[in-house]
Chain A
Amino acid sequence: ITALSCSVSFQQRIEIHKLRQGDNLILGFSIGGGIDQDPTQNPFSEDKTDKGIYVTRVTEGGPAEVAGLQIGDKIMQVNGWDRTMVTHDQARKRLTKRNEEVVRLLVTRQSLQKAVQQSMMS
């Protein structure tokens, strides 16, 4: 057993290229949560007081799935802007800016944390 004291960030960077559909640029996933929402109804969060933005659906074959975004991910940053304490609408706005073609997300996920923990244990 190797004891590792590492400050491993359980975060992942995902880069999504937006897809043009008609007049809109879509990313291909749905978000839920926000500081103005009810955190107890969030099925993905471990801590039911967590008011962060979570990914609730990922469309199949969309740019988000291609980029590796998974359902249940919590979005921490969008293009460098912190999205942990924002309202639902603010999060949506930051993601759907018309003049951006690429969004870079910093996400964290439970499975990721568990995987790291397991690797630490072994």
Chain B
Amino acid sequence: MSTAMDTESTYSGYSHYSGHSKKAHRQGRDRHKSPRSKDGSRSEKSVTIQTPPAEPLLGNDSSRAEEGQDDNWGETTTAITGTSEHSISQEDIARISKDLEDSVGLDCKRYLGLTVAAVLGLLVFLTPIAFILLPKILWGDDLKTCGTVCDGLFISVAFKLLILLIGTWALFFRQPKADIPRVFVFRAILLVLIFLFVFSYWLFYGVRILDLKDTDYQGIVQYAVSLVDALLFIHYLAIVLLELRQLQPMFTVKVVRSTDGESRYYSLGHLSIQRAALVVLENYYRDFTVYNPALLTASKSRAAKHMAGLKVYNVDGPGNNASGQSRAMIAAAARRRDSSHNELYHEEADHERRVKKRRARLVVAVEEAFTHIKRLEAEEQQKAPGEMMDPREAAQAIFPSMARALQKYLRTTRQQQYHSMESILQHLSFCITNNMTPKAFLERYLNPGPTLQYDRDRWFSKQWTLVSEDAVTSGLRDGIVFVLKCLDFSLVVNVKKIPFIKLSEEFIDPKSHKFVLRLQSETSV
């Protein structure tokens, strides 16, 4: 019986997000500091982020939405997630070690950026209000009174600001799913746009209105309204650029796992390479079966046996002719009468048979166990109506009867390290609670499921590295290949463009479908 897994994981990355509201901001900082003290091999951390060196702080980190804060910006997230990735473009490989020392400074920079961005957002939000209030405060007596028109404008400003606030909250206040090193180009563009926009409005306001002490209050209020309108339009632009543009599928990507060749296809729209990598990884955890190194040992041993029997001796003298050696080995291996294909065939047939037999035994044992439960339930109901057996107790009662069969099956299919006794008991009581059939209980064990189904500790992949020839912020193109590496295996991603389809129409006259049924009837008169 395999021992229960050690469940005192430090903390799970998915339950923690550094929120960007003001109080969560402090929490995020605290939590971010704690994993640094722990051992790095098991818990999730953010990896060192490699920022491009020459970009100015404000230009990148003022990656804020126009209102308030948002969480989905690459530069300023301090999220500690289970899957963090950093990108390496080939020319930056040399700078990695240097940036390791800079990582502490980087986080401070990120928090600074976060603060600046929050301030900018607040400023943008308060600007229209300031535009309206400042004349009243500074030279209120000189202002021409404007009656109902101004009231209408005040109401419209208020509601538009409210709508803007709600829209920004809906669009940008999202918990970050991943840590991406390079800034999203569109976001940066939008933020620079907002910044310049608001800056120019303030400039105009300062020069024309504050200096000259304009008394036309209605004009001033309309100026503020025009600012809010333009902010709403920028919000619309943000929606289109950030959300809508990538919805339409333009590319099909093929993702192949390097160790066992399992592949999947996904449809993507216009995304940058880093975002495409994110999508692929999210889908990887759901679609690909869990990586099981125990299944690969057979092919490795076969490969080892191939070359094991040959050794190369260099008789002609010194001189390391490596390529010549390997060629000689390959030629010799080809000539050797190799019956390994026979072995493979028989081995696989035996394994199939063994698995099927064990599976049959397992299914029968589980079915018997479940009927036992039903009998127990019926007895309990007769004896003491209203007192149901605790599912946990029921699970523990029937577990021994099928434990052996289950363990043998798991050993044969090499899944035993994925399921501990505790997890099996838990699953069993879960199935009993929800009135599941034995087949539903067994579904988890008979087929290897996706990675998300298992404990975090069994995932084998916590850090991902994106390796690509093109810059990771560049968009997807036909023929791009990039690789997502983790410690044990890698995912090779191949991008193909969806072909341009020429669809033409052909009109069919409905009359051509009609035909007359001709009869030949005979009537006697």
Segment 510-525 of B: residues with Cβ below 8 Å from A: 518-525
Count of residues in B whose CB is under 8 Å from the partner chain: 8
Point out the residues of chain B lying under 8 angstroms from A29, CB to CB.
524-525
Contact residue among A38, A59, A92 (Cβ-Cβ distance under 8 Å from B523): A92
Most buried by B among A27, A37, A59: A37
Point out the residues of chain A lying under 8 angstroms from B520, CB to CB.
32-33, 37-38, 41-42
Contact with B along A87-109 (1 / 0, CB 8 A): 01000100110000000000000
In the complex the two chains form, is B525's CB within 8 Å of A37's CB?
A: no
Point out the residues of chain B lying under 8 angstroms from A30, CB to CB.
522-525
Give CA–CA (A12, B459) in the complex, Å.
103
In the complex the two chains form, is A38's CB within 8 Å of B525's CB?
A: no
Most buried by A among B518, B519, B523: B523
A-B contact count (CB 8 A): 38
Most buried by A among B519, B520, B523, B525: B525
Segment 22-69 of A: residues with Cβ below 8 Å from B: 26-27, 29-33, 37-38, 41-42, 56-57, 59
Count of residues in A whose CB is under 8 Å from the partner chain: 18
Contact residue among B518, B521, B525 (Cβ-Cβ distance under 8 Å from A95): B525
In the complex the two chains form, is B519's CB within 8 Å of A38's CB?
A: yes
Point out the residues of chain B lying under 8 angstroms from A27, CB to CB.
525
Give CA–CA (A59, B525) in the complex, Å.
10
Give CA–CA (A42, B524) in the complex, Å.
16
Point out the residues of chain B lying under 8 angstroms from A26, CB to CB.
524-525
In the complex the two chains form, is A37's CB within 8 Å of B518's CB?
A: yes
A71, chain B: closest CB distance, angstroms: 12
Point out the residues of chain A lying under 8 angstroms from B522, CB to CB.
30-32, 56-57
Contact with A along B204-225 (1 / 0, CB 8 A): 0000000000000000000000
A44, chain B: closest CB distance, angstroms: 12
Give CA–CA (A30, B520) in the complex, Å.
12
User: What residue of chain B has the Cβ atom nearest to residue A25's Cβ?
Assistant: B525
B525, chain A: closest CB distance, angstroms: 5
Give CA–CA (A33, B521) in the complex, Å.
7
Give CA–CA (A88, B523) in the complex, Å.
8
Question: Which residues of B come within 8 Å of A, CB atoms?
Answer: 518-525
Question: Which residues of A come within 8 Å of B, CB atoms?
Answer: 26-27, 29-33, 37-38, 41-42, 56-57, 59, 88, 92, 95-96
A-B contact list, 24 entries, CB within 8 Å: A26-B524, A26-B525, A29-B524, A29-B525, A30-B522, A30-B523, A30-B524, A31-B523, A31-B524, A31-B525, A32-B521, A32-B522, A37-B518, A38-B519, A38-B520, A41-B520, A42-B520, A57-B522, A57-B524, A88-B521, A88-B523, A92-B525, A95-B525, A96-B525
